[in-house]
Amino acid sequence: MNAPLPADTAPRTDWTREEIAALFALPFAELMFRAASVHRRNFDPSEVQISTLLSIKTGGCPEDCAYCPQAAQYDTGVKAEKLMDVEAVLTDARKAKEAGASRFCMGAAWRSPKDKDLDAVCTMIEGVKAMGLESCVTLGMLTGPQAQRLKGAGLDYYNHNLDTSPEHYRHIISTRTYQDRLDTLEHVRNAGLNVCCGGIVGMGESAADRTGMIHALATLPEHPQSVPINALVAVKGTPAAQAAALDAIDFVRTIAVARIVMPRSMVRLSAGRESMSQETQALCFLAGANSIFYGEKLLTTPNPETDADKALFARLGMRSMPLKDAGH
């Protein structure tokens, strides 16, 4: 077993954009060395936290996120569906646990949940927790009392991504502001919930925008406990589908910089793995990614099958993180 080295000192939340840009500009070998060193000081580099994501309410969202096939205004073939029955969700949670997941994540395509919607979601959370799994939901914007209610149901993590840099944001979304997102994150922190917050790269942003996105995450009042880094999954019918694919090495650099500036966060290699080679994924793990989603689908987009991930883990000598360590 590769036990982690003594942990870094308290993580910084005062990173400057210039410092982060300088990390991105490092020679690749130097950047990878620094990121892997930070990773080893805080985690076992052979362990990966496994999550499974289920869409509990699909399609029909009133937002205009340029990357999202669930936006009602885009013709992507995704049909609006009602909230799933509680027992159907818990059946999927049991399957996820049997497949090796330690965290079960539930996503609903809402701008923000109505209070009555939370009745069923809270019951789902309680059921997931009773199985011994960590729970995570992403439901859109929250009020303070809603965040408190989710905490009372036993929720562990709330996902709410910043998506991109503050400057590029207006090119991606017009139906909510960057400050709206920051406000929801504040409500989540104030409720004592763990924050899952990251972004998407490959949406036509500049290198400066990738710096800006990492800077926004690393200078939150507290680093998100989980940081998903997504590569755009281009879905026909969405505006972002026209963006050129991001270079694989640039994606790995984003993972590495996130690991360095947020040393104790779980950095999740998230959407986009389906189109990545095993070698690119291996570089991401070397760069400090230590969380993935298991399962053939992420909400509505493809994800590698569980057997393929198990084979990759075996090839790399990696293993799933025990539940007791998965909330690091």
Q: Residue 197 catalytic?
A: no
**What residues pair up with 294 in beta bridges, in sequence order?**
52
| Catalytic-labelled residue, pool 61, 122, 197, 284 | 61
68 part of the active site? yes
User: Residues 196, 210, 273, 284: which is the catalytic one?
Assistant: 196
Q: Which listed residue (34, 65, 259, 273) is catalytic?
A: 65
Q: Which one is catalytic: 103, 149, 176, 268?
A: 268
Question: Is the sign of the CA dihedral 305, 140, 161, 173 positive or negative?
Answer: positive
Strands 199-201 vs 194-196: parallel, antiparallel or unpaired: unpaired
Helix axes 278-286, 306-316, angle to 10 degrees: 60
In order of 121, 145, 181, 226, the CA distances from 149 in angstroms are 10, 6, 19, 21
Choosing from 68, 122, 197, 284, which is the catalytic residue? 68
149 is catalytic: no
One of 34, 103, 122, 136 is an active-site residue; which one? 136
By CB atoms closer than 10 A (0-12, 13-18, 19+), residue 204 is: middle
Q: CA-CA distances (angstroms) from residue 77 to 54, 59, 61, 74, 202?
A: 18, 10, 13, 9, 22
User: Active-site residue among 105, 122, 197, 284?
Assistant: 105
Active site residue 284: no
- Give the residue numbers annotated as catalytic, written as ranges: 61, 65, 68, 105, 136, 196, 268
